[in-house]
Structure formats: structure tokens, C-alpha cells
């Protein structure tokens, strides 16, 4: 990564997503969004900079093949009985994976969710992050990648800034092996 500098990293894992959730009676987000938020929080806390002081210039990109599948399954199970929770319906939007960390940390930069296998989306995420950094749309970009394997769910996150000579097409090698997943096991 010649033009993107990794400032810090964060990681969150869970065998059981139910334990990740911090939902309340009037607030709901998919459990994967809470896991993404935990990884992003780790990257922010480990960073040498007060990223939240630049909240208007902090962008978020999340890659996930399954996105909000747990909540979508719950809604599908109750919809046949004529019951659809408005909170769960809103919390099933794939955008919540980037939205919840933005809400939690009051980040107001650009955000994007790539609903694709991580390996397939890394190049796109690198181009978007590089473009946002090089053009000044963001000073920092948090890129989080969610994968599922036999051990549960894992999210790795990098906090990026532009390096001298940054180009929008630089790669995100730091996220390439999200956990060691068997081919085809990502969901």
C-alpha cells in the first residue's frame, strides 16, 4: 500500500451474534452491525489520533457478503404471520453496517456498504477510500470487513489516511486474510 497508510487496526469476533447486540426497546440494529461497530471502535481507540475530533472528515466503508442476514431471516419468519417489526425492518437495511458506527461515534463523512464477498470487494474499497482521501472528501477512512466461517463471525478494520504520493487505486492488503476461512465458507 504505497499511497494508503494504516494508522491503526481493530478486530471483533463472535461465535454467537446475539451476545454482540446492544439493542433497546426503541432502537434496533442487526447484530452484525454491532460487531462491525466493535471493530471500528477498536481501530479508533488504538489510533494515535483523536479521529472523532475530525468527525466531519471520517469516512466508513464496510464489506460483507451476508450483511444483515440474521435480521432478514427473523423478519422472514414473522412476516408470514403478518407481523413485521418496524424497528427490525429498519435495522435490516444493509446500510446499518456503516450507519451504526457513524451514529455511535458521531462520524459525518461519506459512508458505503459493499454487499459482496470481502476478497471480491477489497479492490473497490481501496479505490473508493483512496479517492475520498486524495480528493479531500475524507481525512481518514475506516474500512471494515466482515466474514463468517465455522467459528462464527469476524470483523477486521483498518483506519487509513493518505500517504505522500497517494493514488486512488492503492490496495488494502491489510484486510486481505480476514480470518482464515475455507474457500466457499464465507456467508
CATH number at residue 45: 3.40.47.10
Look at 47 and 129; give whichever has higher pLDDT.
129
183 in a domain, yes or no? no
> Does a structural domain hold residue 135?
yes
Q: Is residue 180 a part of any domain in this protein?
A: no
The answer to pTM > 0.85 is: no
Q: Between vectors from CA 67 to CA 20 and to CA 71, what angle results, nearest 5°?
A: 60
Total number of domains constituting the chain: 1
What is the rounded CA–CA span in Å between residue 127 and residue 74? 35
Query: What is the rounded CA–CA span in Å between residue 31 and residue 15?
Result: 12
What average pLDDT does range 100-122 have in this prediction? 94
* Structural domain boundaries, residue 146: 4-174
Q: Is the pLDDT score of 87 beyond 50?
A: yes
Measured CA to CA, the distance from residue 138 to residue 160 in angstroms comes to: 10
The share of the chain scoring above pLDDT 90, in percent, equals 50
Q: Is there a domain that residue 57 lies in?
A: yes
| 29-58 per-position pLDDT tens digit | 888 999 999 999 999 999 877 788 899 999
**pLDDT value at residue 174:** 55
Give phi and psi for 63, each to the nearest 5. -110, 130
Q: Is 99 domain-assigned?
A: yes
User: What is the separation of C-alpha 140 from the centre of its chain, rounded to a whole number of angstroms?
Assistant: 14
Residue 184 lies in a domain: no
Eight-state DSSP code of residue 163: P
Task: Say if residues 88 and 75 touch (Cβ distance below 8 Å).
Answer: yes
What confidence category does residue 173 fall into, taking pLDDT thresholds of 50, 70 and 90? low
- Does 113 map to a domain? yes
Alpha helices in 13-143 (DSSP H): 31-46, 69-79, 86-91, 96-105, 118-134
Amino acid at each position: 500500500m504505497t499511497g494508503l497508510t494504516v494508522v491503526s487496526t481493530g478486530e471483533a469476533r463472535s461465535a454467537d451474534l446475539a451476545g454482540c447486540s446492544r439493542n433497546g426497546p426503541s432502537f434496533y440494529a442487526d447484530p452484525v452491525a454491532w460487531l462491525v461497530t466493535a471493530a471500528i471502535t477498536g481501530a479508533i481507540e488504538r489510533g494515535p489520533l483523536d479521529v472523532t475530533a475530525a468527525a466531519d472528515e471520517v469516512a466508513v466503508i464496510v464489506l460483507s457478503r451476508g450483511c444483515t442476514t440474521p435480521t432478514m431471516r427473523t423478519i422472514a419468519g414473522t412476516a408470514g404471520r403478518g407481523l413485521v417489526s418496524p424497528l427490525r425492518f429498519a435495522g435490516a437495511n444493509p446500510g446499518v453496517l456503516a450507519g451504526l458506527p457513524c451514529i455511535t461515534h458521531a462520524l459525518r463523512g461519506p459512508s458505503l456498504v459493499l454487499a459482496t464477498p470481502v476478497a471480491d470487494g477489497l479492490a473497490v474499497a481501496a479505490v473508493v477510500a483512496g479517492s475520498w482521501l486524495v480528493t479531500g472528501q475524507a481525512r481518514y477512512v475506516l474500512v471494515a470487513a466482515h466474514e463468517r466461517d465455522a467459528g462464527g463471525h469476524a470483523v477486521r478494520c483498518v483506519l487509513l489516511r493518505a500517504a505522500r504520493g497517494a493514488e486512488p487505486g492503492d490496495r488494502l492488503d491489510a484486510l486481505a486474510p480476514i480470518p482464515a476461512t475455507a474457500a466457499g465458507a464465507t456467508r
